[in-house]
């Protein structure tokens, strides 16, 4: 981790929602999802929030050796977003506690605030992480 990794880092990420990120696409094998509205799925929204935090951190880590994994998320999903709208996520690093990183998040689709919340990530050494993970699959 670099000396520049400090609270106050802000990052804005924009993403246009495709049909492939709607509720029916979340679990194609789930019949229940197939009859639900074609709007940005909460599961994909969570991924977008995480992606924004990752992008914010890359310049401040020894990437790709150092990476981060999500360990907690508490985010609302306040408004539906149809495909074609651009979602803007703003992430701000508010705390650095050793390897634990805390972000405040907001997302807007150009019409409504669609999400706000907090996300916690943890810095890992990718090689060590992968080594520990491989023990689960043996």
Catalytic residues: 42, 50, 77
Q: What is the DSSP string of 30-85?
A: -HHHHTS--SB-HHHHHHHHHHHHHHHHGGGTTTTTEEEEEEEEEE---S---TTP
Q: Is 49 exposed, middle or buried (0-12, 13-18, 19+ CB in 10 A)?
A: buried
Q: With residue 13 as reference, give the H or E element that holds it.
A: strand 10-16
């Amino acid at each position: 981790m670099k000396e520049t990794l400090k609270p106050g880092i802000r990052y804005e990420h924009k993403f246009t929602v495709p049909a492939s990120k709607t509720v029916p696409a979340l679990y194609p094998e789930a019949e229940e999802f197939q009859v639900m509205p074609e709007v940005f799925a909460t599961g994909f929204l969570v991924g977008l929030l995480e992606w924004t935090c990752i992008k914010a951190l890359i310049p401040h880590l020894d990437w790709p050796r150092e990476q981060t994994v999500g360990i907690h998320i508490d985010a609302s999903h306040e408004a539906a977003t149809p495909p074609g709208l651009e979602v803007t996520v703003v992430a701000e690093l508010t705390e650095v506690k050793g390897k634990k990183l805390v972000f405040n998040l907001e997302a807007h689709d150009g019409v409504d605030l669609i999400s706000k919340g907090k996300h916690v990530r943890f810095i890992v050494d990718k090689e060590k992480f992968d080594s520990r993970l491989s023990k689960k699959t043996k």
